[in-house]
Amino acid sequence: MLRNYFKIAWRNLTRNLRYVLVNVLGLGIGLGFGILAFQNYRYANSFDDWHKNRDRIVRIEAVKADNDALYGVCPSPLALDARQLAPVEASVRYDSRRVVVKHGEHIFNEVINFADTSFFRVFNFDLLNGSADLSDPTKVLISKEIATKYFGDQNPVGKAIILYADQPTRKPLVVGGVIDGDFKRSSIRFDFLTNLTNQLEGDKPVDYTDWKFRIDAVFLLLKHPTDRAAVETLLASFVARQQLADPEWKISRFVVEPLRSVALNGRNLRGNALYPSLPPASVWGMLAMAIMLLLTAALNFANMTIAVCNRRLREMGVRKVMGSTRTQLMVQLLAESGIICGLAVLLGMILAYPITAWYNHMWSYMNLIIDYSDPYLLAFVGGMLLFTTLLAGSYPAFYVSAFRPANIFRGTLRFGGSGLFSRIMMGIQVAISLTAVISGISFERNAEFNRTADVGYDRHNLIGAYVYDESTWRVFKTAAQNIPNIESVSGTKHLPGFGYSMKNFKLSSQPHEAILFDVGDDFTQMLQIQLREGKPLLSLQDGQSAQTVLVNETFAREFGENKPLIGQSIQMDSATYQIGGVVHDFMTNTPFRPITPAMIRPVLPDKFTYFIARVKAPHQKQVLADLEKTWKRLFPYKPFDGFYQDNALAEAESVSTNIAETMGVFALVTVLLAVSGLFSLISLNILKRMREVAIRRVLGATGPQVGWILHKNYLWILVIATFSGCAFGYFLAITLMNSVFKINNGVSSAVIILSAISVLAIAFFTIILKLLQTLKINPVTSLSSE
């Protein structure tokens, strides 16, 4: 009997090839993007899951007392004391430092990571060559990328490199092994990993017993996964010791974070040196868009199925008279829907490969893999097959099979394109299309905003370079002044988007925390940061830094308590400073972070880490090349690390552009599916009413009158769909945008109006196109065929 079901189904489907092809293509595209969204979600939730002890590994995080904020950094001695706790099997300290590395005649600026010897007892990273042993402080482990960069095709094990190559305290190390970790899905990433004792601060080893020294991360390996709460309780006994040792940075409590959630929650941590998982918007936004796309395709399928079933009412009546039961008819109709959905699933599985390749190419840190031997992916595909089959086939299967043969044969029973259910589904499609269009246009405008945003300082004509000490800065500054098209040069320790420090201070005896920029005394002139009130930074005199600071408007709003701040005293670093002025807000970091309270403090050149130069437009590229030539001539054994200040927003521009492209593709595909569904629905509705149209035209009805009669029932659905789509589109776009960019362009009313007009124009164009085709048919032909 099952064979007969499919034989009849195949016969009926071959009679409606256009119906089959449109729906297979639409559902296939929707399923392809659905597979991408599912794999993207799994990728975001799979960070660090390959470690064998993942359920027993936790990270210690700290809650700061004065602001109740959660930090990833942790006092180094806590790791040593935590080893003595009964539930703890091992502990690992993990830290990083920027170091000059030399190999042969090549020199590089690299980030070196340092860890305890228990690192590979706790974590599992694949070893390509050599041995994963951190107990020997004369050895260093490198990633396979660094092995290629430094040694090409040669075996790097046993080869020498020099750390701190620009310092008198050089450290020659030997490559002990090559690591092939799945770094794209890891919160712990390193190119160089060596023993913790190899870290220097200045020319001295780091004192890891100092409670004031905060290390990037401390991990514990618990004896049992259930010991997490007990360990967190036991760690409370160390809070008093930390507060006594470091009263300027008091911790109120320690938090124990499971490794499984470290990457997911990493973006919410301050002072987090590990890599977070994907931004929530890129996960939930992708899922939302894929669901809307798949729902549009499924509703399109359901709508067309309902309309097509109108032609088969007489068949249903005959089969019931011949003895078929309602269950048999339901199975028959569901089988037909299942065949189409099965073909669509096969197409979607094929399309998932190029769709995923496009997505991986767009996001360099992504490595999504489509592997249909994966049982979870197969289960998802099977679930989508069941979902689309039921959504498209359940209404005709349960509704049509219930009709009585007598009502069918009288000819009075007709349903299809003009039914309320069909119109509602069409409205949902229009609303989904409008939501996708609003999201796509909003992110495109935000990408443009990031390219041209006024960040509160002139970022376009500023070039910088990392310097190593005061003498290097002075020599380079003198030489750079002779380079053409440079207007002025200076130095600074911090730059917006490239570095700052979080500083505790007291204002009116109240403890606070703010961003601190240590800069040269001409910093505001170099960056053209505008002074709102007060005086600019005081010039340094007699080798002494001025005891004044500038604050931004956000600082004044949050800490000013509606009182004038200029002239008030700030206690910071065991010194007292006066607030000399307030500057207009500027982007303190990147668009991914909100503008926060900030202080600008002048410091002496011995604190400078950056050389900065203001150049004439449009000569930035040539000036940077000349600076590099000058550097290599002056400092042949130090790597040149130059940059444009525009680079501070480079990642934000890339992310917003990629999101806009992704949203744009979703919007385009969704609109095309909605248009095809609308066209098919209108076509079937008109086909059902061709006799009525012919009679009205014979009686003198005009084209607009015929169009109004045929489509007036759609108008109120379009109005509701437009308002619903605008509201949901605004909510979705602003939610996703705010979750990624704390500084963004928002969703303007112009975008909503433009999107609504565009979608409605496409809908009306589709309706008018079909109407014009209908009016070309001779009424006599229609009546004679009836």
Q: Answer for the pair 566, 594: CB distance below 8 angstroms, yes or no.
A: no
pLDDT (0 to 100) of residue 704: 77
CA angle 289, 292, 295 (to 5 degrees): 150
Q: What is the three-class DSSP state of 129? A: strand
User: Does residue 671 sit within a domain?
Assistant: yes
pLDDT tens track for 651-694: 777 877 887 788 788 888 888 877 777 776 676 667 666 777 77
Residues 102 and 232 in one domain: yes
Cβ count within 10 A of residue 58: 25
Distance between CA atoms of 219 and 92, rounded to whole angstroms? Answer: 5
Flag whether pLDDT at 291 surpasses 60. yes
Q: Which of 449, 364, 395, 489 is nearest to 652 (CA)?
A: 449
DSSP letters, 74-117, are EETHHHHHHTTSTTEEEEEEEEEEEEEEEETTEEEEEEEEEE-T
What percent of the chain lies above the pLDDT cut of 70?
Answer: 87
Average pLDDT of the chain to the nearest whole number = 84
Mean pLDDT across 707-730 = 82
Residues 451, 456, 461, 466: is their CA dihedral positive or negative?
negative
Residues 360 and 257 in one domain: no
User: Does residue 52 sit within a domain?
Assistant: no
Q: Answer for the pair 584, 528: CB distance below 8 angstroms, yes or no.
A: no
Q: String of b and e for 498-537 (b: at least 16 CB within 10 Å)?
A: bebebbbbebeeeebbbbbbbbbbbbbebbebeeeebebb
Q: Letter for the amino acid at 616? A: K
Residue 541 pLDDT class (50, 70, 90 cuts): low
Q: String of b and e for 90-126 (b: at least 16 CB within 10 Å)?
A: bbbbbbbbebbbbbeeebbebebbbbbebbbebbebe
User: Does residue 726 sit within a domain?
Assistant: yes
pLDDT (0 to 100) of residue 649: 82
Residues 641 and 660 in one domain: no
Residues 242 and 99 in one domain: yes
Of 87-96, 184-193, 280-289, the least confident:
280-289
Mean pLDDT across 629-647 = 89
Residues 33 and 93 in one domain: no
Flag whether pLDDT at 213 surpasses 60. yes
pLDDT tens track for 379-400: 999 998 888 888 777 766 666 6
Distance between CA atoms of 29 and 351, rounded to whole angstroms? Answer: 7
Residues 186 and 90 in one domain: yes
Flag whether pLDDT at 543 surpasses 50. yes
Strand partners, 222: 88
What percent of the chain lies above the pLDDT cut of 90?
Answer: 41
User: Does residue 527 sit within a domain?
Assistant: yes
User: Does residue 422 sit within a domain?
Assistant: yes
Mean pLDDT across 620-629 = 94
Q: Which residues make Cβ contacts (< 8 Å) with residue 620, sequence separation at least 6?
A: 460, 461, 463, 644
The continuous run of DSSP H or E covering 600 comes out as strand 598-602
Distance between CA atoms of 429 and 195, rounded to whole angstroms? Answer: 59
- pTM here? 0.79
User: Does residue 277 sit within a domain?
Assistant: no
Q: Which of 431, 522, 342, 497 is nearest to 763 (CA)?
A: 431
Query: Which position has the higher pLDDT, 524 or 540?
Result: 524
pLDDT tens track for 734-752: 888 888 888 888 898 899 9
Residues 687 and 701 in one domain: yes
Q: 567: left (phi > 0), else alpha (psi -120 to 50), else beta?
A: left
Strand partners, 611: 465, 491
Flag whether pLDDT at 474 surpasses 90. yes
Residues 316 and 447 in one domain: no
pLDDT (0 to 100) of residue 737: 85
Return the half-sphere exposure (C-beta side, CA atoms, 13 A cut-off) of residue 61. Answer: 25
User: Does residue 51 sit within a domain?
Assistant: no
pLDDT (0 to 100) of residue 267: 83
pLDDT (0 to 100) of residue 420: 67
406, burial (CB in 10 Å: exposed 0-12, middle 13-18, buried 19+)? exposed
Residues 634 and 507 in one domain: yes
Residues 146 and 243 in one domain: yes
pLDDT (0 to 100) of residue 667: 81
pLDDT (0 to 100) of residue 448: 84
Residues 583 and 602 in one domain: yes
Residue 450 pLDDT class (50, 70, 90 cuts): confident
Listed residues 360, 395, 416: the one ending a domain: 416
Strand partners, 219: 59, 92
- Say how many residues make up the chain: 786
Of 38-47, 502-511, 620-629, 702-711, the least confident:
702-711
Residues 665, 666, 672, 675: is their CA dihedral positive or negative?
negative
Q: What is the three-class DSSP state of 215? A: strand
Listed residues 594, 620, 649: the one ending a domain: 649
Query: Which position has the higher pLDDT, 21 or 234?
Result: 234
785 is in which domain, residue-wise? 417-455+650-786
Residue 76 pLDDT class (50, 70, 90 cuts): very high
Q: Answer for the pair 57, 220: CB distance below 8 angstroms, yes or no.
A: yes
Distance between CA atoms of 298 and 429, rounded to whole angstroms? Answer: 10
DSSP letters, 698-758, are HTT--HHHHHHHHHHHHHHHHHHHHHHHHHHHHHHHHHHHHHH-SS-----HHHHHHHHHH
Listed residues 649, 679, 704: the one ending a domain: 649
pLDDT (0 to 100) of residue 284: 82
Cβ count within 10 A of residue 454: 10
Flag whether pLDDT at 221 surpasses 80. yes
Q: How many domains does the chain contain in total?
A: 4
Q: Answer for the pair 189, 64: CB distance below 8 angstroms, yes or no.
A: no
Flag whether pLDDT at 778 surpasses 80. no
**What does DSSP say about strands 139-143 and 171-179: parallel, antiparallel, or unpaired?**
parallel
Residues 654 and 624 in one domain: no
pLDDT (0 to 100) of residue 417: 47
Q: What is the DSSP letter of 579?
A: E
User: Does residue 290 sit within a domain?
Assistant: no
Distance between CA atoms of 211 and 224, rounded to whole angstroms? Answer: 28
Q: Answer for the pair 218, 82: CB distance below 8 angstroms, yes or no.
A: yes
